[in-house]
Amino acid sequence: MNYNKILKTFLAISIALTTSTISYGAIATDAKLQYNKGIDYYQLGQFEESASCFKKAIELDPNYINAYYNLGSILEYLKQDEAALAVFKQIILRKPDDYESVYKAAALSKKLGEYDKAKMYLTLIPTDTLIGQRAKQLADSMNTDIPTAKAEQTQPKSYIEANPQNNSDGMYSDISSPTGVVTDPNGNLYVAGFSDNTIYKIGPDNKKIVYIKSEKIDGPIGLAIDANSNIYIANYNKNNILKVDKDGAITEILSNIKNPYCMHITGDLLFISSQGSNSIIRYKLTR
C-alpha cells in the first residue's frame, strides 16, 4: 500500500489557528457558534471578519482560550502587535502553563522593543520542552540567557521505576479533552489534548507543561513512541500521521489516512487504526 505525501494548502496563510469544532465542555453554545464562524471566515481569507467573530466569542465566554489564541494569531499576522500582545497576556492570566502563548508574548514584546518584558516571559518557559528550545533561540537573539534544562537521567528506567510516588491511584487534571497517552523511558508521560491541539508532558515530579503546540497539529488522538523516543501523532482532523523527533522537528510521514485514531508500535512496525475507512494500516518505520 503506497501513501503519497500530499501538501494541503486550503489555508490562505500559515498561522497557528486551532480549527477543531468539537464541543468544549462548559463553553457557551453562542460562543462556540461565533468561534466556528471565525474559523469559516479565516479559511475564506476574511481576517478582519474572523477576528471580529473571535472577539464576540470571548465576550460571550471570557475564558475561551482557543478563541483568544486565534484572535491573537490573526492580530499578529495583521501586524497589530500591541493588540496581539494584549490578547496573549489574557491567555497567560487564565492559563499560565500555556507556554506557546507565553512564547508569543515574549516574541511580541521583543518586536515592540520591550526587552525586559520579553526576558521575563522567557524565564517562565520550562527549557526541557520543544517550546523551551525556541525560547532559548529567542533569548540568544537578545544576547541574554535563560535557565538551562535539568540534565536527563543517564540510565533509562521504566515509568514505574522513575515515578515510585505515582505507583498508586491518582489523577492528572486540567487537560483539554485528553485522548492518547504514552510514556518514555525517563518516566515522562505525554498526553494529547484534542480540543487545544496540544501535546502535554507530565514529568516524574508530576509537573505538567505544554510540550508542543503547532499549526501542524489538528485534533491529535493516538500517540506512540519508538525506541529512539520519537513521538508519533494520529492527527485526526488532518488525516495524517506526524513524527516529532527528539530535536522537536515535526514531519508528516503518512497522509490520506482517513481519521487516524489509535496507534501501536512493535519493533520497526507502526500500526494505525483508520476510523474513517474501517481499516488498520501497517507502516515500516525508518531508522
Instruction: Determine the 3-state secondary structure of 152 from DSSP.
Output: coil
The pLDDT assigned to 230 comes to 93
Determine how β-strand 198-202 pairs with β-strand 240-244: unpaired
Question: Which pLDDT tens digit goes with each residue over 71-115?
Answer: 999 999 999 999 999 999 999 988 888 888 999 999 999 999 999
The pLDDT assigned to 13 comes to 37
Asked if the model's pLDDT at residue 120 lies above 60, the reply is yes
**Mean pLDDT (whole number) for 213-239:** 92
Instruction: Determine the 3-state secondary structure of 275 from DSSP.
Output: coil
CA distances from 2 to 6, 20, 233, 261 (A): 12, 28, 19, 19
Determine how β-strand 260-266 pairs with β-strand 198-202: unpaired
Q: Which domains occur in the chain, in start order?
A: 1-93 (1.25.40.10), 96-144 (no CATH), 175-284 (2.120.10.30)
Q: Which three cell numbers stand for residue 6?
A: 500530499
Identify the residue whose cell numbers are 496573549.
Answer: 88
Q: If pLDDT is split at 50, 70 and 90, which confidence band does 10 have?
A: very low
Asked if the model's pLDDT at residue 7 lies above 60, the reply is no
Query: Which of the two residues, 168 and 176, has the higher pLDDT score?
Result: 176
Cβ pair 182, 231 in contact under 8 A: yes
Identify the residue whose cell numbers are 526541557.
Answer: 128
The pLDDT assigned to 24 comes to 40
Question: Which pLDDT tens digit goes with each residue over 241-257?
Answer: 999 987 778 999 999 99
Cβ pair 54, 34 in contact under 8 A: yes
**Mean pLDDT (whole number) for 40-44:** 86
Q: Which amino acid is at 159?
A: Y
The pLDDT assigned to 165 comes to 58
Cβ pair 281, 1 in contact under 8 A: yes
Q: Which three cell numbers stand for residue 45?
A: 481569507
Cβ pair 273, 260 in contact under 8 A: yes
